[in-house]
Amino acid sequence: MTHIIILMGPPGAGKGSVAQKLSAEKKLPHISTGSLLREEIAKGSELGEKVESIMQSGQLVDDATVIALLKERISQDDCKNGFILDGFPRTPPQAEALELMFHEMRKSDPLVLYIQVNEETVVKRISGRKECSGCGKIYHDSTMPPKKQGVCDDCEKPLIQRHDDIESVVRERFSVYQQKTAPLIAHYEQKGLLRSVNGNPMLPEVMDQVFKVLEQF
Ligand SMILES: [Zn+2]
């Protein structure tokens, strides 16, 4: 039984933590298209050089290139029992290209796991985040506060908030995500592949739901 899991959810939904737990528990590699692209650049391959120049010009890497990279990655031995895909697809045409590839590779249908969170949860999670201006260590006002307010435990440099983490920016990113992914959600719902979990509680509770969904799929 192969498990192909596509993870979806807005920034702050906890996708990274869910992917990590799922990957460890089910022994499935976690494939993020962002890291795939960065790895290819690091390899210095011809494709990597092309990807680098596209990304440097601020443009998005075309679907065909991402699909080709994914195909190469998925063909590796560690993916034979399945894998967790993160960051792709983002649009219905990308989803269709991916389905075609799975079909050609004789892979089973993916389970699309949508981690649903409220805007307020996301705001609370992200806008409380602080970063050390010296060493980059991450803190959180409510879940991981520093010993001394506003100062890093390790290097005593001031903690700062990244621009992306400011509440108004977080709200904007949340609504952009909802708008942009609505067609993709509809696409997978129509195919009967979409399963939603409530991502608002703490991680252990979210994971309970995730494993239940996996069993039933
Ligand atoms: Zn520090």
Find the 212 Cα to ligand 1 centroid distance in Å. 40
Separation in Å, CA 207 to CA 6, 19, 29, 120, 201: 15, 10, 17, 21, 10
Distance CA 176, CA 171 (A): 9
Residues of the chain where predicted confidence (pLDDT) is lower than 70: 1
Find the 16 Cα to ligand 1 centroid distance in Å. 23
Find the 127 Cα to ligand 1 centroid distance in Å. 19
The pLDDT, as a whole number, for residue 103 is: 93
The pLDDT, as a whole number, for residue 140 is: 93
Active site residues: 15, 90, 129, 162, 173
Q: List residues bridging with 144 in a β-sheet.
A: 140
What's the residue count for the chain?
A: 217
The pLDDT, as a whole number, for residue 104 is: 93
Find the 139 Cα to ligand 1 centroid distance in Å. 10
The pLDDT, as a whole number, for residue 1 is: 60
Find the 138 Cα to ligand 1 centroid distance in Å. 9
Strands 82-86 and 194-198, by their bridges, are unpaired
The pLDDT, as a whole number, for residue 34 is: 87
Find the 154 Cα to ligand 1 centroid distance in Å. 5
